[in-house]
Chains A and B, each alone.
Chain A
Amino acid sequence: MYNKKVLQYFKHPRNYGKIKNPDGIGKVGNIICGDVMRLYIKVSKNKKGEIIKDIKFETYGCVAAIASSSIITNLAKGKTIREALKLNKNKIIDSLGKLPPIKIHCSVLAIDALLEAIYDYLIKNKKIIPKELKKRHQRIEKEKKIIEEKYKEWT
């Protein structure tokens, strides 16, 4: 079902766990299958602009969900916020080689988590939110409420 690369990232996940005092947190969930992801980012400034200096994930979900969250941390680390905003699900799928069609939604969830973390950072620092990011945030917010209701006993 999964190729070697997906299984590699699943078995040896990179950058998992929490970041203390993160600059942004993205919390997302898939209302159909029930998978949940959290992404923590630490941002610092250098010549290029605001850089994602550190990034970590926590995921409750299947092989594809863990592999996708693992690789998104690799893809986003060291990138500027502007560059990170350009990442999309295809970038995850390409980096993993391939995902089964039924698991594509896991890559979308990983992108959602990253964008939510960036959104959280921008809001906290009173920065301008790009229009598309705002729209995506509103969609994710709705789904998150359903998911949080589902797992309220665990949190």
Chain B
Amino acid sequence: MKTTKTYLDYAATTPVDPRVLKAMLPYFTEKFGNSVSLYDFGEEAKRTLEKNRLIMVKILNAKNKDEIIFTSSATESNNLAIKGIAFANQNKGKHIIISSIEHSCVLNSAEWLEKQGFKITKIKVNKYGVIDPKEIEKAIKKDTILVSIIHGSNEIGTIEPIKKIGKICEKKKVYFHTDAVQSFGKMPLDVQKMKIDLLTASSHKIYGPKGAALLYIKKGTKIEPLIHGGGHEFGLRASTVNIPAIVGFGKTVEICEKEMKKESKRQSKLRDKLIKGVLEKIPDSHLNGHAKKRLPNNANFWFAYVEGEAIIMNLDSYGIAASTGSACSSEKLEPSHILLACGLLPEQAHGSLRLTIGRWTKQQDINYLLKILPKTIKKLRKISPYVQ
């Protein structure tokens, strides 16, 4: 039955671009050196590392090379940002502000700090998942040391007003961190203009390999490392540097930067067609997140009377890959905290579906989805006790 492969889960992970893979390959074999070795192999690895650091400086409009710390994953970057700032600044205060729609690695880091004696404030969002910067201004107290707000929501795709939040944090002299994993490489980011002190970005969400990510840390920021060892990454992240992955990360960022404008426009168009098609073809369907302020590649819905895991597995039988925030698909049997934060009832989140497109998504993929999804929902509603 699985004749077509229609991948609509680009927010989960992406395939590596062949151009990226090609750039990486020599670094597994002939250029395998350790970046801290003194002889030529090591020197070459070090040069490669610094060259790729510069690519990140450029795309983020950072000031210096030493503001970019390479890590192994966005989860690690977010852990370093939140715990690192907390540990280094606890003399000033123990209050941290996050939003109610953060990725679980930010949320769980903050909640872990809460157990260590820190205070956490979670800023609420409106029904479109948008944060009101004024709420952050109100929440900042004397002992606030960090504000961490996601840029583009991994689930509902909503874009947060981080420039305004950055300005508030600058005025109040509080560190501002943003998790930009879903927007990096897809939308322009300027750490200076946006007044960002720390920023997390990842490689595998933008056609680079898994195992590479970064944390931008503005010069002068007081932060403690989490991994101690040989003093790599300016003493902020010890570990032998994963050169092949970083080469891939650098290459993919170069490609994303070059193709960003065109690609973002193309994907936004496809996304809008997808949203319009789903809402028109399926009765009792609803869009999650903001209609306009959203990532170019994200669409998220909820369908009444049906459950998300059942939708996913039905689509899977037609070769379509997608994701859901339903309780049934989670390890804890709880619906997505992000959908609940937007005011969805658990039974509404139960019927949620996230579709995320990417570089290789074509109009025909959207057409195929628009053919299969209405059938899938109709079939499940036939079985559902709530439809007469």
Contacts and interface: CB of A to CB of B under 8 A. Distances in A.
Contacts of A154: 304-305, 347, 386
B327 interface: yes
A59 B307 CA distance: 10
Contacts of A122: none
Interface in B341-388: 345-347, 350, 382-386
Contact of B383 (A27, A59, A64, A102): A59
Contacts of B347: 34, 150-151, 154
Contacts of B333: 32-33, 102
B329 A62 contact: yes
Given A7-B313, A150-B347, A62 B384 contact: no
B160 to A, nearest CB: 29
A124 to B, nearest CB: 20
A17 B384 CA distance: 8
Nearest to B327: A33
A118 interface: no
A18 B326 CA distance: 26
Interface stretch (A8-16, A42-50, A75-83, A90-98): A8-16
Interface in A135-155: 150-151, 154-155
Contact of A35 (B307, B313, B329): B307
Contact of B384 (A10, A34, A59, A64): A59
Given A34-B335, A34-B347, 10 more contacts: A10-B313, A32-B327, A33-B327, A58-B385, A62-B309, A66-B310, A150-B345, A150-B347, A154-B304, A155-B386
A51 interface: no
Interface residues of B, number: 26
Interface in B287-332: 304-310, 313-314, 317, 326-329, 331
B340 to A, nearest CB: 12
B310 A62 contact: yes
Contacts of A59: 383-385
A7 B318 CA distance: 13
A63 interface: yes
Nearest to A36: B385
Contacts of A10: 310, 313
B331 A58 contact: no
A62 B307 contact: yes
A92 B200 CA distance: 47
A130 to B, nearest CB: 27
A57 B385 CA distance: 8
Contact of B326 (A2, A27, A57, A62): A62
A14 B313 CA distance: 17
B313 A33 contact: no
A99 interface: no
A150 B345 CA distance: 9
Contacts of B305: 60, 154
A66 B384 CA distance: 10
A88 B309 CA distance: 25
